[in-house]
Amino acid sequence: MAVKCVISLVILVDLLNTAVTFKEDQSHWLKTGEEELTKALNKRLIEGTAKNVILFIGDGMGLTTITSSRIYGKGEAGHLAWEKFDNIGVLKTYSANKLVPDSCSTGTALFCGVKANHKTAGVDATVEKDDCEASMRKNAQLDSIISWAQDAGKSTGFVTTTRVTHATPAALYAHVPNRGWECENKIPTTASKCKDIAKQLVEDMPGKNIQVIMGGGRQCLVSSVNGSDADPIDTWSCYSTDGRHLIEDWKQDKAARGLSYQFVTNNRELENLDTSVDYTLGIFANGHLKMDYARDKGPTGMPSLQNMTVKAIQLMAKKRNGYLLMVEGGMIDFAHHRGHARQALDETIAFSNAIEKTIQITDPHETLIIVTSDHSHSMVLTGYPDRGSGVLSYTKSEIDLMPFTSLLYGTGGPNNYQFEATNGTVKRQDPSVNDTTDFAYSQQAVVMTDEVTHSGTDVLVFSKGPMAHLLNSVHEQTYVAYVISYASKIGPFKDKNTTNGSKKCNRGIFYGVGNHCLRNDNPFRNFSYLRRAVKAKR
């Protein structure tokens, strides 16, 4: 292990000391500009109704994470799967009572179209954290895009690398004043009237009618499960001990209603599942799924986000009325919270792979794909590193003459807070004595907290497909739910018209000048064509 570490350090030092030459002359950038102009001028809006909607949530995937992951996995000039989408907007992520939000309040905003209080899910801002009585009021409980889609006769599902009862997915189907109430063990006796998140998923609407559910969280659904090295108990999460077996209850409910169903637990079973079955439940871990770099890829191991997403689409695509699917790359956030930047970047690449495959197997004229994040993190990319050195490198401070990593955190746990006092002087630890490319390396943080905390900065939203152009400005986070409603004719805007009277042409779409259509074969010709059209109109 020590030899491997030394080799990694030697490679990194060589990389840092080697000048990388990039032969990008003026003609290169002119050509790049022409290509981007051509794409922009050739942009075609897709109108009409979205038969299907797939909402991808990169949990904790702020702009710095996107930029750093692109460099890490694709290089500076590369692109992640969603970065070629034509439509980009900005979402404001504050919650009802916090400038810096958590994942269930932001999930509620994205899925229900209403801002909620910190650590509450599926309820409006009249419900404070831990207020069981308030959360049980029907007028405080919110319908989500899942409920809207089910009411419209669509198939619904969600896929996550976290527990299926975790903060983000819980906002799709549960109404709780505390995101921690994933099973009975976390609910105080004073709130015994409230039902935990796991039971709401299996017993209540809309959870019991979600046709595809995939993720972790066995220990919240089944009491007293055993852990192992391959599948440990999640000590941060709820651990049920009330004798429940909600997986069996889920099966019995489907059998009683005459519905076909299947339950899968590993890679082999997922690969061989029956796509003609009505309901599929996949629980692959006691807690969260293992990260992509660490998971067992063999038959009895845990699946990737890409594998789960593809199977979910195959299961749901047969629905005549279409489907609504939420896909969460939840371990991006998990890695950031523990200050392991490389893990977060690697999970973002796995998230991109799932989206890349989704683009390949769906029709852009009938499927609206939205990619965004619920919130950002405090990671920054800084220090003027050389191109080619990568984001896991380090540079030297001109003040204390000590190296610092290109990726840093604003806050972090004890492993990230790398300062020590010597003879009354506080000094940073030297990162060059460690392998900063290791998955378990902890980047330095400025302030010590129990873990890396979220950031309150805005996040980006990328979209393609029917009505994707509605996401094109700075929006409230709640707006995403209403775009989905309007585009797919579900929920509050199901009866609104999804056309705006633009003229459709065989060779393009044009807005604003008479009845003229622009040519798409060579958009640079459109300048002179448009100039003549405007002159003729005058």
What pLDDT is attached to residue 22?
Answer: 73
What pLDDT is attached to residue 307?
Answer: 98
Assess whether pLDDT exceeds 70 at residue 520: no
pLDDT digits (tens, 9 = 90+) for 225-279: 999 999 999 999 999 999 999 999 999 999 999 999 999 999 999 999 999 999 9
pLDDT interval class at 497 (50, 70, 90): confident
Using CA atoms, how far apart are residues 274 and 266, in angstroms rounded to an integer?
Answer: 14
pLDDT digits (tens, 9 = 90+) for 50-102: 999 999 999 999 999 999 999 999 999 999 999 999 999 999 999 999 999 99
Q: Which two tokens stand for residue 180?
A: 């921690």
DSSP letter at 81? G
Q: Give how far the C-alpha of residue 472 lies from the chain's centroid of Cα atoms, to the nearest Å.
A: 19
Domains of the chain: 52-378+453-493 (3.40.720.10), 503-537 (no CATH)
What pLDDT is attached to residue 424?
Answer: 84
What pLDDT is attached to residue 51?
Answer: 98
pLDDT digits (tens, 9 = 90+) for 394-430: 999 988 889 999 999 999 999 999 998 888 888 899 9
What pLDDT is attached to residue 173?
Answer: 98
What pLDDT is attached to residue 514?
Answer: 38
Assess whether pLDDT exceeds 60 at residue 214: yes
Q: Give how far the C-alpha of residue 498 lies from the chain's centroid of Cα atoms, to the nearest Å.
A: 27
pLDDT digits (tens, 9 = 90+) for 439-485: 999 999 999 999 999 999 999 999 999 999 999 999 999 999 999 99
What pLDDT is attached to residue 16?
Answer: 43
End-to-end CA distance of the chain: 77
pLDDT digits (tens, 9 = 90+) for 335-378: 999 999 999 999 999 999 999 999 999 999 999 999 999 999 99
What pLDDT is attached to residue 369?
Answer: 98
Q: Which two tokens stand for residue 254?
A: 């489907």
pLDDT digits (tens, 9 = 90+) for 301-344: 999 999 999 999 999 998 899 999 999 999 999 999 999 999 99
Residue 244's H or E segment, with its range, is: none
Q: What value does the mean pLDDT take over residues 19-35?
A: 83
What pLDDT is attached to residue 20?
Answer: 57
Higher-confidence residue of 19 and 20: namely: 20
Q: What are phi and psi of 129, to 5 degrees?
A: -55, 135
Assess whether pLDDT exceeds 70 at residue 30: yes
- Please report, for residues 6, 337, 338, 342, 442, the alpha-carbon distance to residue 436 in angstroms, rounded to integers and kept in the order given: 11, 17, 15, 9, 8
Assess whether pLDDT exceeds 70 at residue 527: no
pLDDT interval class at 21 (50, 70, 90): low
Q: Which two tokens stand for residue 53?
A: 């909607």
- Looking at beta carbons, which pairs linking 298-304 to residues 24 or more positions away fall under 8 Å? 298/267, 299/266, 299/267, 299/268, 300/266, 300/267, 300/268, 301/230, 301/266, 301/267, 302/231, 302/266, 302/267, 303/214, 303/266, 303/267, 303/270, 304/350, 304/353, 304/354
Assess whether pLDDT exceeds 70 at residue 496: yes
Using CA atoms, how far apart are residues 80 and 502, in angstroms rounded to an integer?
Answer: 32
Q: What value does the mean pLDDT take over residues 474-499?
A: 92
Using CA atoms, how far apart are residues 128 and 132, in angstroms rounded to an integer?
Answer: 9
Asked if 352 is an active-site residue, the reply is: no
Assess whether pLDDT exceeds 90 at residue 381: yes
Q: Which two tokens stand for residue 375?
A: 């919130």
Catalytic residue among 68, 95, 103, 455: 103
Using CA atoms, how far apart are residues 488 and 290, in angstroms rounded to an integer?
Answer: 34
Q: What value does the mean pLDDT take over residues 479-505?
A: 80
What pLDDT is attached to residue 507?
Answer: 40
What pLDDT is attached to residue 81?
Answer: 98
Q: Give how far the C-alpha of residue 52 lies from the chain's centroid of Cα atoms, to the nearest Å.
A: 18
What pLDDT is attached to residue 501?
Answer: 41
Classify the C-alpha dihedral 197-202-206-211 as positive or negative. positive
